[in-house]
Amino acid sequence: MLERRLVGEPAVIDLKQYIVAVPDFPQPGILFRNIMPLLKAQFEPTIAALDGLLSTDEWAQVDAITGVESRGFILGAALALRRGKGFIPIRKQGKLPPPVSSLPYQLEYGTATLEMQPGSGRVVIVDDVMATGGTLTAATELCLRSGFQVSALVALIDLKLMPGLRWNGLALRAALVYD
C-alpha cells in the first residue's frame, strides 16, 4: 500500500516492533530489551524521536550531550551530532584516563561504578533503558560532581518500573514506554 504524506512530514514508524525482548538475560528473571535490531533497521528515526523530546528552546540551552556506557554512547553521540553539540562519555570504572570523578551505585542486578572527566556546561543525559533508575540517578549525581549542570534526562525506553521518576525537578523523557 502506498503511504501518503506531505513533503517534509516524517513517516510515523512503530519503533517498538524492532525491539526484541530477551528473557533471562543477563541473568534469570531479567527481561532484556535488545535495541540493536532497532538501530540496524531504523537508526535515523530513532535519533529523531530522541531529538523531539526537547523543544528547540530547550536544545538552545544545552552545551553537550552525555551518554551512559555503552548503548547510551550510540544514542548520545548520534544525538550530539544531529544537534551540533559536543559529546561527553560516562564510562564504567577504569576506562577513562585521569582526572576522573567516580560514583559507585546499585544496579537492579548488582553494583557498578561510573566515571567521567571533569568539565562545565549544561548537559542532557542520554541512556538506552530506564529500569529502576539506578544508573540514571548515578549519572546525574556524577555530572554534578564533575562540574556539569543537568538540563534534561532522556532515555530511549522507559520500562515504567519507577513511574514518575524525577531528579531535582527534572522528569525522565522517553521515546518509547513499556507498561
Instruction: For 109-171, give the secondary structure using H, E and C.
Output: CEEEEEEECCCCEEEEEEEEEECCCHHHHHHHHHHHHCCEEEEEEEEEEECCCCCCCEECCEE
| Catalytic residue list contains 145 | no
Per-residue pLDDT, averaged over 4-27, amounts to: 78
d(CA 80, CA 76): 6
| Identified catalytic residue from 58, 108, 141, 173 | 108
| Catalytic residue list contains 33 | no
| Interval 75-123: pLDDT, tens | 999 999 999 999 999 999 999 999 999 999 987 677 899 999 999 999 9
Q: Distance from first CA to last CA of the chain, Å, rounded?
A: 31
Q: What's this model's pTM, rounded to 2 decimal places? A: 0.90
| Identified catalytic residue from 71, 83, 91, 115 | 71
